[in-house]
Structure 1
């Protein structure tokens, strides 16, 4: 038995996609490897660049350290080292010690790990010579010979450290340039390889897609031609169904479509015959429906005419009843208006009485408020005076402190005078200054005593003011209590009067509501009469429409039967 393999379109498309994916994956793999190599080299260059920059910073920092030390030797006569120079020395030494790991890595990179140990040893030596021995010598005011020795040591150790750092920086710079050259060549080679591989993959993919696409597009074009002929009504066209792929299944479906089209034509012919029979049956059914419709509509029209007659009689009766209700409502409304006027007169009198009591209560409350405000102002004034007393007391404490400081200053001036006397001729200028300080201390003590006396007088006056304010506050508080009692009594009278006025007003509103309800009844009676007239008119119109409906139904049935 002979075996034949016919791949489906799905399989062909899958193979096309698979080839494209393999090509893309291969190209991506090549590009990724090249990119990783470039990335590693770039990272290595970045590390070397950072080491080179850091070594340069350390070299500059060491030079600044040497210059700060030399400047300190030049200004040794001052007897101390300037703070900014100490900061330069400290920051330079700390930077060298903090960078030991970086220095060790850089030394290992250039193949001279022993340089890191030399830098560490020189750092310790410079630290000892500059930050310890030199500073101590300057503070001790050492001689020129000692400073000359420090100058030689600093030159020797500083220059040695700077030379080592410069050598390491130069070596790493050379390595960085060589690595950059290799990186550029590697990137160019990787780019060229990726382009070549991409062109090869694209060429193979295009050829594969063209061959595979041809095996799909040609059968599709054939099926398209067949379906266009079938759409134009050509049922004699032949359909090839020998293929075993999806296009073969489509051809089978087209063959089924062709067969169904022939069957459709046959069914349409049969449906036309059935349609003629149905038209005849429909006409007979319409005649029967017209007869039934005539009987049913006639019954409805007769019922509507009867109901319209009854509505006319009812509407006439409603109109007479509404007229009588309107007349009775007018009589009741007149009596209600008179009662409302009497109640409103009483309510107005009660409101005037309530307003008078309210005005009295407002005046009393205002008096109580003024008294309460006076109490608050007295309290505030008392607090202010108390604060003044406390401030005076605090000023007294400060004056006492100043007096103590003046005494201590006087004592120090005395000690300085004694020391100046011991110093002899060299201390005369200092003795003059000490005398001036002593005079200033005596003047300060006298001034503080005067201030203390004034503060004592202020405190006495403040205490008298506090007592007077306390007495005023007590009197105002008593007046406030009396005013509050009067206000409470007036308020109770006002509440009683307002209650009377409220009850009278409620009675007035009640009579007004009765009057309003009577008016509503009268209005409703009038509206009822109007509605009754409208119902009468509507019933008459309904009778006329019923007669018209009967005529239209007869006309419709005649047309239906004629059709």
Structure 2
């Protein structure tokens, strides 16, 4: 059975293997894209946002330092020392914030060009601070020289540092935008991969359902024919199944079994008719012999004149009994052949039961693999939920950033003219936060679509599992039908054994009758010399004929019973 080409189990295993491979590939690719999304999100959080934050803080600090430096130089000569000192303190605070921001940017700059730009910005900051140190020394003693340095000499350094800081801030924005685009691209790619994989899995599942229906359809025909046979109808047509797998072998075995059972029933029916005819003929001969024997007993005085006639009659009886014996031997041979055929039919039914059990075992393996597939799809759904949680965290960060930008704008509005630069920066931060929130919402919508499709996949997997269970029930029903067939074959075999036993007894009776008729023939030959011996022989012959008549009656009754049993079968 394992050498059958195009095995039914092998076909199902190949289809399931393709589905499992597709699911594994989809899971691996989805996992890789998920890792890329997570990595891009971490880069956005750990690198892009920090570069953007530090560069923006450095730029803002320098703008504050430059504005307050110009204001501090301009306040000299007005005599307001408290305002001058407060302005100077703001300059120092902005200077410290600028230097700290540039130092914080140093470990985040990984590209050579970015590192060169950062070093250039640090050098310009040092040059600016050097000029301011000169202004600080000359502001009280030589105010015009301090103004010359602050407003003219330092302008080139101020413009260069402003350009450097703007470029650093642009780098941070570029990194944030690039990581955002990468995240969206990976998310869209993952969505397309999952959608394509889902479509492939659905198509393969539909293919398996259709293929399984085509393969299992012959089983319903076999079950229907087996039910007809269990009702005794052997006139069913042969099954024509094109399958080359276990089901095709099962159909061929079924056809061979039905043909052999039909031959056995026809043979047994013919044998029963022969037995009835032979028993009736035996009864007629026995009756005739009994009448002749009685006439011999009554007309013992006429034995001499009728001896020749009696001898002829006994010879005819011997010939008839010999024919009966030959018929009995032929019946015995046919019953033995029918018994051997019933043994072959039992073996074929056992093969059918083995094939049904193999199909059932294969369906059990399919059910286990479908359950494992459902478990893998559920795990993938859990991963998509985890990604949704990460996107929710990003949305919350965007909301908090938007709130901070709003607070910064309010504080800038309170500062008036001096906070105008802060207001512009706060507006940019707010826009960036809104864009991040919109992107996070799109990602969340994509994740929700993925989760919906995964739920549909779980339902489809459950449907496939239910189909497999239905197939297992059909296979069990077919197995029960084969068991009924086997039981019917055993009953027929038992009846054949009974017929064989009766035929053997009939054969023994005919041998006895033949021997008795030979004795009668010998007695009639000597009737001329001993009428007493003829009379005694006639009495013995009468008793033998009565036994033969009784045996013939019993044989006829058993043959009629066998015919009645066979009448329930339609061939």
TM-score category (smaller protein): 0.3 to 0.5
- Provide TM-score, normalisation by structure 1: 0.36
Q: Which has the larger radius of gyration?
A: 1
Higher relative contact order (CA 8 A, sep 6+): 2
